[in-house]
Chain A
């Protein structure tokens, strides 16, 4: 007989779906089936079952091959690397629990590290804008129940957050939106005809890199000031029409993604989008929300914010927290050669960073803590496999709307495999010994 575990959290994307049902074998060791998850979410659970999974730490040898080492040796290497470095980078944190992040930050403070999370190549620009001008936001539940104007700007949830539209933003029937998508008007701003753009009522096929101008143009239209004939490739009438659609709703929301946060103007795009949202509140109720990618990148920002005051790129090297993306952000540090050791947990910079940064990681003493074999684990001196958070161990996570949700454990990790928290706690204890003996 198999048993069913209900209300499971999906530890994949920032939508953090909390309605999964997982069928587990009787001995609680094997996942047999997953209900309700989207394809990418289900794959995350299935991956934990892969027969070729690495179960012990591996140390890179001079010839490029890997040698299995014990967790004790892995703890020793990691602690010594951080202890010897003048300015280590501790990057990642977005695919793990808040509990693990907290232990990681304790280590970072001890060794004067820089703590940075995946926002640095993602929604970090959003966080800069929020610090500059604030943010009027809401929860996904409010959107489901109230929102009738949905704007997707530079994001493609059909592929990146597959259940977002069915659970919250477009299709669900809510308290004041009892006709589901019939109640809602969807505007998509994207230079490409994405699958999200295909289901929109209005698609603004904007010229690439002109989001800042179009956002400004909507603000100009709201103030009834004159506009040029076209802005960003969009005719003036369309812009005025769009502004009218936004104004005429009862509750509007702008969702935005990497298409605006990492294209030309970066934080200024978000800054202007937030100001547009504020302007729209003169006419109706409007909110804005970042489509966060990793399931707990929001949590990393929360824990960093709570402990050090800044949500990413926190430089602790001088014993107090400093923050200046452009200087203290991972790619700038790596590219410029500002750090002398790299520790990665819960992310894959080997796959996501520019090659100039990846090369630097390969040259430096480096540790990668990750359940999978990834491009990062392949260039790191030490790879430490750990249990999957949200599958093999629970922990706190934050959804993209900053709502904390407790992830659940579904099956046991393979025998002897440590969790992120256990590994970090042992490194922390070893550092205490090393520093005590200083």
Chain B
């Protein structure tokens, strides 16, 4: 596996749209070719080389390419966008849309990510050591397809609207979240090891939400079914299972109504 290291040397005045920072785009390119890839600051089309020092070269394919992003990237958007294979390691905290529409490979952020990280994600592994902003693994505006596959793991806390319109894949948040978890959720699994204040599973059609901590205010459309033991993230625990959101439409499968499942740790 070949490694490309890009280091911030010249901070953008506004924000940088760096959707070319992905193994798919770096594969098969030398440092000078990578430096010539496009980036945008406002309406100005510039190059990655204007902002980053670039060392190393891409592997033959995306899967053979590892990217290490060094320096202050708090004003850089779209790192790892649409990546399908390979690895990206971000040492500090990038701005919005990190790992947006990611399809495969592994993306690791040592710091925090801002909002809209992993939106519309289809596959791969996305690990965030710090905190995540709002709309993690959600759908882009107007899209009815949120996260569809893959894994997002946040070691810290997450903001509001995580898993909005989610219909596949797994989001695990080790800390707390803000309001609106899995709104309009149709499938997939959200695990919150901390607390979620309120609006959990509102308008939920299908899928599963696990909350280990507390929910201050439950949505009215959840009815208790039974206690269940389930394996989550490698360990078995006992949960109280609720069906919902009963105010929402629900499809039928084999004559049975399919509900969203909300598990509260006992």
**A339 in contact with B43 (CB, 8 Å):** no
- Total A-B Cβ pairs within 8 A: 102
The interface size bin for chain B is 35 or more
Contact of A131 among B141, B199, B218 (CB under 8 A): B141
Q: Are A268 and B199 in contact (CB under 8 A)?
A: yes
Which A residues lie within 8 Å of B72 (CB)?
none
B225 within 8 A of A: no
Instruction: Check B221 against A216 for contact (C-beta < 8 Å).
Output: yes
Convert B70-113 into 0s and 1s, putting 1 for each residue whose CB lies closer than 8 angstroms to a CB of A.
00000000000000000000000000100000000000000000
Contact digits for B38-62, partner A, Cβ 8 Å, 1 yes 0 no: 0011111000000000000000000
> Are B43 and A111 neighbours in the complex by a CB distance under 8 Å?
yes
Does B248 count as interface, using CB distance less than 8 angstroms?
Answer: yes
User: Which residues of A in the span 220-247 have a Cβ within 8 Å of any Cβ on B?
Assistant: 220, 222-223, 225-228, 231
Given A86-B44, A265-B179: A225 in contact with B135 (beta carbons within 8 A): no
**Known contacts A318-B43, A337-B14; is A268 also within 8 Å of B202 by CB?**
yes
8 Å CB contact of B217 from A85, A210, A223, A340: A210
Which residues of chain B are near A146, meaning CB under 8 Å? none
B220/A87 in contact, CB under 8 A? no
Q: How many Å from the CB of B188 to the closest CB on chain A?
A: 18
- In the bound complex, do residue B141 and residue A217 qualify as a contact, i.e. CB atoms below 8 Å apart? no
B67 vs chain A, min Cβ distance (A): 23
Describe B's contact surface by its main secondary structure: loop
The residue on A at minimum CB distance from B140 is: A324
- Is B189 an interface position by the 8 A CB rule? no
The answer to whether residues A216 and B202 also contact, given A228-B220, A265-B180, A324-B116 and a CB cut-off of 8 A, is: yes
A228 CA / B220 CA spacing, docked (Å): 6
Cβ–Cβ contact B43 & A220, under 8 A: no
CB distance from B235 to the nearest CB of A (A): 31
Q: Are A268 and B42 CB-contacts (below 8 A) given A212-B202, A220-B220, A223-B246?
A: no
Contact B40 A338 (CB under 8 A): no
Nearest CB in chain A to that of B15: its residue: A338
Q: Is B183 an interface residue (CB 8 A)?
A: yes
Residue interface mask A380-406, B partner, CB < 8 A = 1 = 000000000000000000000000000
Q: Which of B102-144 contact A (CB under 8 A)?
A: 115-116, 134-135, 140-142, 144
Which of A85, A87, A319 is packed against the most chain B CB atoms within 10 Å? A87
In the complex, B24 has a CB within 8 A of chain A: no
Query: Quick check: B43 and A216 within 8 Å, CB to CB?
Result: no
Chain A residues with CB under 8 A of B220: 213, 216-217, 220, 227-228, 231
The answer to whether B245 has its CB under 8 Å from any CB of chain A is yes
Q: Given A131-B141, A324-B140, are A86 and B115 also a contact pair (CB < 8 Å)?
A: no
By a CB distance below 8 angstroms, the chain A residues around B96 are 327
Q: How far is the CA of A265 from the CA of B144 in the complex (A)?
A: 18
**In the bound complex, CA of A265 to CA of B197 (Å):** 12
- Say yes or no for A323: interface residue by CB 8 A criterion: yes
Contact B219 A213 (CB under 8 A): yes
- A337 vs B140: C-alpha distance when bound (angstroms): 23
* Residue in B14, B183, B217, B221 whose CB lies within 8 Å of A268: B183
Residue contact A219 to B14, C-beta cutoff 8 Å: no
Residue among B40, B115, B179, B223 making CB contact with A225, cutoff 8 Å: B223
B203 within 8 A of A: yes
Nearest chain B CB to A292's CB is how many angstroms away? 20
Q: Which of B151-198 contact A (CB under 8 A)?
A: 165, 179-180, 183-184, 198
Q: What are some 16 contacts across the A-B interface (CB < 8 A)?
A: A87-B42, A213-B219, A216-B220, A216-B221, A217-B221, A220-B221, A222-B247, A225-B221, A226-B223, A265-B199, A272-B202, A275-B203, A317-B40, A317-B43, A326-B116, A338-B15
Q: A228-B220, A271-B184 are in contact. List 12 more A-B contacts (CB 8 A).
A: A111-B43, A132-B142, A216-B203, A217-B247, A220-B221, A225-B223, A226-B246, A265-B180, A275-B203, A324-B140, A324-B141, A327-B96
Nearest 7 interchain pairs by C-beta: A112-B43, A86-B42, A219-B247, A87-B42, A225-B246, A220-B247, A131-B142
